[in-house]
């Protein structure tokens, strides 16, 4: 299954005014990079992958938000957000804001 094209379009609308945002196909989904740092990605498994401060992960976990796992390993500082959470515009905007904000706080990757 490919990633949700409508969800990708909704994210584009939210990040359209942000500086230095680039889209890149990754892991079968579509990632949005800020200054070369991944911030949020539309997952081919549905929903979003969102990058957050690793120290803030625990309080964000719920029945619809879980630590992201790839290749059997938990990805530190990444959350998998169920599609139900991002169905509403407010829900999506909150998670995109979190991911973009955290990625923007990181040092820019060289060449960005």
CA distance 41 to 49: 5
How confident is the model over 20-68, as pLDDT tens digits? 999 999 988 999 999 999 999 999 999 999 999 999 999 999 999 999 9
Q: Helices 5-15 and 89-105 meet at what angle, rounded to 10?
A: 60
Tell me the domains of the chain and their CATH numbers: 5-104 (3.90.1150.30)
How many Å separate Cα 74 from the centre of its chain?
15
The DSSP element (H or E) to which 74 belongs, if any, is: strand 73-81
- pLDDT value for 111: 64
Beta strand pairing call for 48-51 and 73-81: antiparallel
Predicted local distance difference test score (pLDDT) of residue 2: 84
How much of the chain exceeds pLDDT 90, in percent?
A: 86
User: In this predicted model, what pLDDT tens digit does every residue of 78-106 receive, in sequence order?
Assistant: 999 999 999 999 999 999 999 999 999 99
Q: Judging by DSSP bridges, how do beta strands 29-34 and 21-26 pair with one another?
A: antiparallel
The predicted model scores a pTM of: 0.92
């Amino acid at each position: 299954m490919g990633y949700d094209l409508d969800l990708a379009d909704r994210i584009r609308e939210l990040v359209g005014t942000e500086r230095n945002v680039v889209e890149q196909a990754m892991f079968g989904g579509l990632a949005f990079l800020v200054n070369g740092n991944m911030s949020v990605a539309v997952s081919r498994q549905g929903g979003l992958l969102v990058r957050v401060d690793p120290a803030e992960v625990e309080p964000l976990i719920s029945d619809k938000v879980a630590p992201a796992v790839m290749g059997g390993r938990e990805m530190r500082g990444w959350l998998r957000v169920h599609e139900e959470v991002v169905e509403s515009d407010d829900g999506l905007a909150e998670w995109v804001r979190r991911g973009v904000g955290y990625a923007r706080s990181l040092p820019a990757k060289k060449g960005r």
